[in-house]
Amino acid sequence: LKKSFWILITTFFISPICVLTSCKGSQLDNLPQESYPKQIRVGIGNASSAIGRKNKDGSYGGFCGEFLKTLEHELSRQNRQIPVIPKDIANQYRGKAYPRYSGLTAEKIEIECGPNPRSSLKLRDRQDNQLLKSKILFSKKSFHTTGIKLLLNKKTAVELENTTENQLEKKLSALSIAVIRGTTTLQQFRKNGNYYDGYVPYPKIKQKNQKLDIRDLALDDLEKGEIKAFASDAIILRTLLEEGIQGKSGYRKSRQPFKNKNYVIYPQAPNTYLPKLKKQQYAIALNKNTDYAKWLRETADKVLEKPSLNQAKQDIQKYENGGDILSPVPQTPLSQKPREKPSKSDKGNNPFL
């Protein structure tokens, strides 16, 4: 009798819990049919080839290429007949007229796969000044963690590598560093302005032609020596260093790999980034304001957990850490060099003039 009593009590209390739990899961798995997207267009960002690139045959490579395939398999497993359609992100670095994630907010794509950090939710839409977190949702799972480094002339990098920790802050503070507006990189430099006093936001003035790649302004000045370094996520700088930029008529300039011009990445050591600046976690971005947002987020997280993506994740890290070996060259200590007159474009006393 006692045994039957406890079975009855257990069933009475536990069953509602199980029902409630199953109901919660079923709301995500069993939306009304009309609430599911008719298609899933995946925007592929190509700022880093290890994350997303378009191959000569029209297919997509890098991590995002594998993500596309794995997403298709996951939808098939769910018995969802929803086509997955890759799209090029055509508005990268194009200023206020083409703000970040505009493809998602304009419902031209359902997912964006690229070098997109979670911290970008703290940025504001450059058109209406609303916080991006009111419009964009990220997958709970991330696929890569990186940090901010510098692209700069090899001689300057060697000087920084050979600088003691006590003197490094002084040199980094005096270094003129280009940082692109509307990015988490600029957000971090602003928070640490005392440490990086010489950073310069680009474009310097309001850009008239919003169809241009605004990185061109900064990279032009870098190559002319008007600034000494260009700051961005390490994985993005690796692509500039190793591959350059593929030009597009009326949009951006073609550029040879920066390694061919005696540029390197600083800090050189793998998994080591600029001091004081936080690491960035890349995740899958989605439009927050849709009926299917929670389902799509859950689906993206399931995809990111698949073992089939493990190699692609490892390849991103391997690519980011790819070797540009600095060979320190004999040089006169900076304190013994004759002081040169700084140019008007440089901010403060720059020891690398």
CA separation for the pair 239, 322 (Å, rounded):
10
CA separation for the pair 111, 219 (Å, rounded):
30
* pLDDT of 270 strictly over 50: yes
Q: Which amino acid is at 30?
A: N
Q: Which amino acid is at 142?
A: S
Which pairing describes strands 111-113 and 280-287: parallel, antiparallel, or unpaired? antiparallel
CA separation for the pair 118, 283 (Å, rounded):
6
Over residues 20-48, the mean pLDDT reads: 75
What is the percent of the chain where pLDDT is above 70?
79
Using the structure block, give the residue that is written with the tokens 């880093």: 48
3-state secondary structure of 231: strand
Over residues 16-23, the mean pLDDT reads: 45
* pLDDT of 4 strictly over 80: no
> What are the angstrom distances between the C-alpha of 297 and each of 88, 164, 292?
21, 46, 9
What's the pLDDT tens digit per position in 299-346? 999 999 999 999 999 999 999 998 433 444 333 333 333 333 434 433
> What are the angstrom distances between the C-alpha of 205 and each of 224, 253, 326?
18, 20, 35
Joined tokens for residue 308: 């089939």
What's the pLDDT tens digit per position in 67-110? 999 999 999 999 999 999 999 986 667 666 677 898 898 899 99
Provide the pLDDT for residue 128: 84
What is the percent of the chain where pLDDT is above 90?
64
Provide the pLDDT for residue 67: 98
Query: What pTM value is reported for the model?
Result: 0.81
Using the structure block, give the residue that is written with the tokens 């011009």: 261
Q: Is the dihedral of CA 310, 62, 300, 236 positive or negative?
A: positive
Higher-confidence residue of 125 and 313: namely 313
Least confident of 20-24, 42-46, 128-132: 20-24
pLDDT band of 26, cuts 50, 70, 90: very low
* pLDDT of 62 strictly over 90: yes
Higher-confidence residue of 257 and 250: namely 257
Q: Which residues contact 207 (CB under 8 A, 6 or more apart)?
A: 95, 96, 214, 217
The separation between CA 168 and the C-alpha centre of its own chain, rounded to angstroms, equals: 26
What's the pLDDT tens digit per position in 182-211? 899 999 999 999 899 999 999 887 555 556
Provide the pLDDT for residue 260: 96
For the chain, first and last CA: distance in Å?
91
DSSP character for 336? Answer: G
Provide the pLDDT for residue 328: 41
Provide the pLDDT for residue 126: 76
